Amino acid sequence: MSSSLQSFLHLNYCPLSDVATGKPSLLSVPSGQAVLEAEGLHFHYFDDADAVAGVSFKIMPGETVALCGHNGSGKTTLMKLLAGLLRPAKGLVRVAGAELNAKSAQEVFRTVGLLFQDSQDQLFCNSVGEDVAYGPRNLGLSDAEVKKRVALALNITEAQHLEQRPIHHLSGGEMKRVALAGIVAMQNSVLILDEPFDGLDPASTSRLVTLIRHLVSDHGYTVVMATHQMSLVPEVASRMLVMQGGLLIADGPVRELLTNVPLLEQARLEPPTITRFFYKKALLENRKPERLPLTLDEALKWQVGQE
Ligand SMILES: Nc1ncnc2c1ncn2[C@@H]1O[C@H](COP(=O)(O)OP(=O)(O)OP(=O)(O)O)[C@@H](O)[C@H]1O
Ligand SMILES: [Mg+2]
């Protein structure tokens, strides 16, 4: 995002630096310790085949990880396992080194926040204000602190005007922003975001990109985000996990995986449009597709630099 757009956002809305002022996490992570760990995770719904079939990885504090894969590849199932909403058939999840189980779940819920793919599954109170307040209130915070967090979260997600509205009157994009406000208000230091950009208009998308970057770089949050919007992956994430049919088929730096077109095709994915353009151009010019830009800004910078 350009710095002018960033300063526009800072001028016109609540400064993002106010988002995480409290101590967000109750679980402390010793240095060198993964904040989130999946070890040999398996899960199947009823008698179906494995929706998640032996997935293992470690995520370090402060990482931003994009989880990509075709429809039905197991992203949502994996995210629910990581957040403790589903129990694995085999394998385990560790949060800050502690195994996620019935005993640790309560504390883990204070550390890990899950934004549901379908906002209707997340919102259950009558009004927007009540819904955003629900989580902080359950943390046992004072009324004043709850009020402060709700106002801040609604401001950050540009949903203040919706505070009194009944949930069932909201549009899809408004619901997404309110669900996000609920997560922001919890100040969970590990955010698991399932298709967070779905239904958002371009301005809200840019603001969410800025918010995620800010929480990670200035407040040490860790973010795992599932998305089909490949052009947003390099804007936010530095590492990428690729799923196919319940398996984790790749785990590596975004630049490496997003320029590996055969791998992406195998996973029924595509690189960002700008990357595809330069990839195809190189092939048409009988050149090896090397040094492919991942974003529009990068392409412009490199083109201008070459001239
Ligand atoms: N509640 C459920 N009951 C039975 N099967 C389910 C249920 N939820 C998901 N599945 C199945 O589990 C598999 C993985 O689904 P999941 O929702 O995790 O995929 P996904 O990668 O998130 O897909 P999408 O990109 O469409 O969101 C799919 O085959 C799906 O049909
Ligand atoms: Mg999903």
> What are the pLDDT digits (tens) for 48-81?
889 999 999 999 999 999 999 999 999 999 999 9
End-to-end C-alpha distance for the chain, whole angstroms: 23
Distance from residue 195's CA to the centre of ligand 2 (Å): 7
With a 6 Å cutoff on the Cβ, whether 72 touches ligand 1 is yes
In SS3 terms, 159-227 reads as: CHHHCCCEHHHCCHHHHHHHHHHHHHHHCCCEEEEECCCCCCCHHHHHHHHHHHHHHHHHHCCEEEEEC
Which pLDDT score is estimated for 22? Answer: 43
pLDDT tens, residue by residue, 171-214: 988 999 999 999 999 988 899 999 999 988 998 898 889 989 98
What is the reported pLDDT for 306? Answer: 59
Residue 3, pLDDT > 60, answer no
Secondary structure letter of residue 49 according to DSSP: P
| CA–CA dist 26, 41 (Å, integer) | 25
Going from the Cα of 33 to the center of ligand 1, the distance in angstroms, rounded, reads 30
Ligand 1 geometric centre to CA of 246 (Å): 10
Question: Is residue 38 classed as helix, strand or coil in its secondary structure?
Answer: strand
Check residue 26 and give its pLDDT: 42
Residue 9 has pLDDT above 50, yes or no: no
C-alpha to C-alpha distance for 272 and 269, rounded to whole angstroms? 10
| pTM for the structure as a whole | 0.89
Is residue 114 scored above 50 in pLDDT?
A: yes
Q: Whose CA is nearest to atom 3 of ligand 1?
A: 45
Q: Which amino acid is at 224?
A: V
Q: Whose CA is nearest to atom 1 of ligand 1?
A: 45
pLDDT at 13 exceeding the cut of 80:
no
Q: How far is the CA of 228 from the centre of ligand 2 (A)?
A: 9
**pLDDT, tens digit, for every residue of 258-306?**
999 999 999 999 999 999 999 999 999 999 988 899 999 999 998 876 5
pLDDT in tens, 130-157: 999 999 999 899 999 999 999 999 998 8
Question: What is the C-alpha to C-alpha distance for residues 237 and 221, in angstroms, rounded to an integer?
Answer: 13
Residue 92 corresponds to which tokens in the numbers above? 């385990």
Name the CATH architecture for the domain at 3-271: 3-Layer(aba) Sandwich (3.40)
pLDDT in tens, 212-239: 998 888 878 899 999 999 999 999 999 9
For a substitution probing ligand 1, which of 44, 46, 68, 77 has the most ligand atoms within 8 Å of its CB? 77
Distance 68 CA to ligand 1 centre (A): 14
> Looking at the predicted structure, is the pLDDT value of residue 87 above 80?
yes
> What is the structure's pLDDT at 27?
54
Protein residue with its CA nearest to atom 27 in ligand 1 = 71
CATH 3.40.50.300 in the chain, residue ranges: 3-271
Lowest mean pLDDT among 7-16, 71-80, 93-102, 246-255: 7-16
Please tell me the predicted confidence (pLDDT) of residue 51: 97
pLDDT of residue 105: 83
What pLDDT, on the 0 to 100 scale, is given for residue 55? Answer: 98
- Long-range own/partner contacts, residues 289-295 (CB < 8 A, 24 or more apart): 289/259, 289/261, 292/259, 294/234, 294/254, 294/255, 294/258, 294/259, 295/231, 295/234, 295/235
Q: Is the CB of 112 under 6 A from ligand 1?
A: no
The response to whether residue 45 sits with its C-beta less than 6 Å from ligand 1 reads yes
CA 71–ligand 1 middle distance (angstroms):
8
Question: Does residue 71 line the site of ligand 1, with CB under 6 A?
Answer: yes
Ligand 1 in reach of 77 Cβ (< 6 A): yes
